[in-house]
Amino acid sequence: MTLSTEKPLPRTKHQGILLINKPIGVTSFSLIPKFRYLFNEKTIGHGGTLDPLATGVMVYLIGRNYTKTADSFLLDDKEYKATILLGQERDSYDIDGNITHTSDKIPTFSEINDAITAFNGVVDQIPPMFSAKKVNGKKLYEIARKGGEIQRLPKRVEMKTTIIAYTYPHLEISVTCSSGTYIRSIAHDLGQILGCYGCIKALTRTRSGSYLLQNCHQMEDVLHYPLDELLI
């Protein structure tokens, strides 16, 4: 969708929750200027970002009355569907990164089924270097893009991971998890356990808190809805 962001239209300000199915290949933040223009509202927050590779539920908070409650949305549990590409390790833990290792090992379904138990319940997860998490005031991805790597402390999260389908080299999984969980780390760590490497090939957030993917607006449709119908 092409939408100028230079001069806001003379519209009355609207506030509320905007549910968007984020398109692939764009950052969560890159859409905010478009919404500022559309709603003539400068104060816009979100309920948790998605990687450029990912699609699915993005909860945008339009207006100060909603952005001040952002923490409660950020802490909501989430659900994802992911496709893991086995046989490759990449520095970003997803298909957009550079290949660092490959393997010809083809794990059996039984091996994967056994390994997936490590991703159920309470898990101490190490954040990927290509993430926005800050260590000593610096975002990890800023260090990673310069070729650096530093020690990261594990974060305790809770998750339920199930297998949807498996046809090598693609493994489809469903993950229900607490806030702050990195699905890319699940792909990487599972590949390590299996001894064949792994990275995320596709990722969709299907739920954020009580908000479902089927209730989200498509970006290309946003301009065709009355503003009051866009917000909840």
Neighbours of 154 (CB within 10 A): 11
Task: List the chain domain ranges.
Answer: 16-75+210-230, 78-208
Query: Measured between alpha carbons, how far is 162 from 149 in angstroms, rounded to an integer?
Result: 31
Q: Which CATH superfamily is domain 16-75+210-230 in?
A: Pseudouridine synthase (3.30.2350.10)
Query: Measured between alpha carbons, how far is 112 from 193 in angstroms, rounded to an integer?
Result: 9
Mean pLDDT of 41-57: 93
User: Is pLDDT of 74 > 70?
Assistant: yes
Mean pLDDT of 157-172: 98
Q: What is the pLDDT of residue 13?
A: 65
Whether 78-208 and 16-75+210-230 are alike in CATH topology: the answer is yes
Q: Mean of the per-residue pLDDT values for the chain? A: 89
Of 165, 185, 191, 173, the closest CA to residue 106 belongs to 191
Query: Measured between alpha carbons, how far is 86 from 89 in angstroms, rounded to an integer?
Result: 8
Q: What is the pLDDT of residue 222?
A: 87
Neighbours of 130 (CB within 10 A): 22
User: Is pLDDT of 232 > 80?
Assistant: yes
Query: Measured between alpha carbons, how far is 18 from 184 in angstroms, rounded to an integer?
Result: 26
Of 54, 57, 67, the closest CA to residue 131 belongs to 54
Q: What would the CATH number be for the domain defined by 78-208?
A: 3.30.2350.10
Q: Which of 51, 91, 94, 189 is catalytic?
A: 51
228 is catalytic: no
Tell me the per-residue pLDDT of 3-48, one tens digit each, with 9 for 90 and over: 444 444 444 467 899 999 999 999 999 999 999 988 989 999 999 8
Q: Is 211 exposed, middle or buried (0-12, 13-18, 19+ CB in 10 A)?
A: buried
